[in-house]
Amino acid sequence: MHGGNLGYGGSSGDGSSSSSRQVVTVKALREDQLQFSSGHLPWNVLGLAQPPTLWGASKAETSATLQWKLHICSAKSQVTDWAMGDRNSLQGVLGQLDPVQLRTGIFSLELTVSPGAPIPVSWTSSGSKGSSVELLHFARPFSVCATHRSPDVHVLCRALCPGAYEAVQSTSTATVVTAGTAAAYADAWKGLVELEAVASAVDEGLGRHLTDVWVDWEESDEGLLGRFDVKAAAVK
């Protein structure tokens, strides 16, 4: 088995942040961002496979085609399971899609988005820091986490790999690493290497998306921390 951790920016034990969900309306689609009734997000936060295709007679009537290609790993699948093409895809209009089953393989999603379309959104409120978009729910069970694709590397790494992030923070002031063996030396740099790998995978769209995974949540100083186990073969 292979274990992992993940962070979640929802409500914390001290009440400093909370999460709420509402449906917002697409306001406009621009070359650089998606605008909705209560905010906006740059396209690169959505993790698209390619820049959106925009069309329309005017800016107010501009629609877009959004495409994702995701490497899905189901915890219930066998090593030989692999689906792509028509067997692992979804195509349609935002707000008019039925739930889809994600299968191990390459999942393709193509959405047509127009002004006025509804998007269920989860918000995180952090007191004086205001509210920020946390999740955009495009098609069940497919959602995009803005926190996990944040341009702020500290937010990104703390959310995706909290254990490695804490290890790096605790040794960030060290200028000399002392180790008696090669294994000890490698272990000293393990956290930094893992964080660099995480940041690179997200930036290049090389991450693997787990589904059918049971997550145990527990409170931490940073909010909720999730722990899970999957078969090692599923993530190789």
Q: How confident is the model at residue 43, as a pLDDT?
A: 92
**d(C-alpha 224, C-alpha 226), whole Å:** 7
pLDDT by 10s per residue, the chain, length 236: 444 444 444 433 333 445 678 899 999 999 999 999 888 899 988 889 999 999 998 888 899 999 999 889 888 888 788 999 999 999 999 989 888 888 999 999 999 999 999 999 988 755 444 567 788 899 888 888 887 776 665 665 666 666 666 666 666 555 566 667 878 777 777 777 777 776 676 666 667 788 888 888 888 776 677 788 777 766 66
Yes or no: say if 210 and 104 are a contact pair by the CB < 8 Å rule: no
Strands 208-211 and 63-74: parallel
CATH assignment, 2-235: 2.40.50.140
Cis peptide before 115 (omega within 30 of 0): no
Handedness of CA 104, 82, 87, 45 (dihedral sign): positive
Q: How confident is the model at residue 38, as a pLDDT?
A: 81
Q: How confident is the model at residue 15, as a pLDDT?
A: 37
**d(C-alpha 103, C-alpha 216), whole Å:** 22
